[in-house]
Amino acid sequence: MAARFEGLDFYDIDALLSEEERMVRDTIRDWVEERLIPLIGDAYVDRRFPTELIPELGELGVLGANLPEEYGCAGLNNVAYGLIMQELERGDSGIRSFASVQGALVMYPIHAFGSEEHRRTWLPALASAEKIGCFGLTEPDYGSNPAGMITRARRTADGWVLNGTKMWITNGSMADVAVIWAQTREPGDTKGIRGFVVPTDTPGFGARDQKGKLSLLASDTSELVLDDVHVPEDALMPGSTGLKSPLMCLTQARYGIAWGAVGAAMACFHESADYAGTRVMFDGTIGGKQIQQVRLADMLTWITQGQLLCYRLGRLKDEGTMTPQQVSLAKRANVDMACNIAREARRLLGANGILAEYASMRHMANLESVYTYEGTHDVHSLILGQTITGVSAF
């Protein structure tokens, strides 16, 4: 049954893509099928990020893929980058999260706000996966309201001292470098929140695994503790100027998430369509039953809508006209869509849907985290509400 939807392109979006964009997508799709999918179920059950795949991600050029070639990156356009995120999340949200954090939340701010020395030192090593990075913004009591962060950077005679705690940090336990955001308000300081490039072997820097997760089990999630972490003056990213800077990073990550959610939804659709074509019940396949056909029709419709949303958003980004509010709409809509599809796919699979050998429940659990991080569904609703009415409800 699902053979007709192998690429799941019901509206022939392929015809709108360049040859390079299709080639990039197909390369990552093949890698996901051959390398990631055979092992991700076991890694998820074992609560283990498949670190053995990290060098391959570097070789594929997916890390910071839309950043310039002069820094060792692939220099792809943003539609190609989005398609990479889509295909990685076909495999697992944790793998896409790894790549999103490395590229959009570590490499992007170093490129956008860092010094030339920061760029030359870190970007090639991060692009090749020789080094791993993490992004320290969220705190235990300040997620949706990062402006209230407690972490402080105090200027000293020869640099800065950082103190604070960061929470829900992807890649934190295995990172070689952290982009840390801290309050720097002092008399005469009008910039407030600034970004710092902090090697994780700096004395006073600690990371510990987040325990008790029921989602993103094949992802490294940590708490960071900064206890009198002394860094030199040049650790400061000179272009970081207040809360706007980390929010710009989040816009980059949310863009990739909008595409990634489509990939998770596609994986659930394929699994459902295959299962419906082979599972026999009441003397026929369940794919011949009305209720399952309605489920599959809804999935196909929702995914097609999500693909068109991402395609247009990607072209706007490449044109330089994309707005953060447009990204909020796409992140909100596509993650909600993917959550609904994963849930319906799990139900279509019946009792088998709770087994690790099937992907839908794993995607369903992962997407509950994606629904929350990088701006919760409700926060994006309020962003759009403010855009519509001109009144902030925060």
**In the annotation, is 374 catalytic?**
yes
Note whether 166 and 180 are within 8 A (CB). yes
E strands of 61-192, at which residues? 133-136, 152-156, 159-170, 177-183
Rounded-to-integer distance, Cα 393 and Cα 74, Å: 40
Instruction: For the beta carbon of residue 229, count every other beta carbon within 10 angstroms.
Output: 26
| 3-class secondary structure, 41 | helix
Q: Which residue shows structure tokens 């360049």?
A: 18
98 phi/psi in degrees, rounded to 5: -55, -50
Closest listed residue to residue 359, CA positions, set 34, 98, 37: 37
Note whether 308 and 350 are within 8 A (CB). no
Note whether 20 and 78 are within 8 A (CB). no
Its sign, for the CA torsion 172, 176, 179, 184, is positive
Rounded-to-integer distance, Cα 111 and Cα 29, Å: 28
Closest listed residue to residue 103, CA positions, set 313, 271, 256: 256
Q: Classify residue 75 by burial, with Cβ atoms within 10 Å: 0-12, 13-18, 19+.
A: middle
- Which residues are part of the catalytic machinery? 374
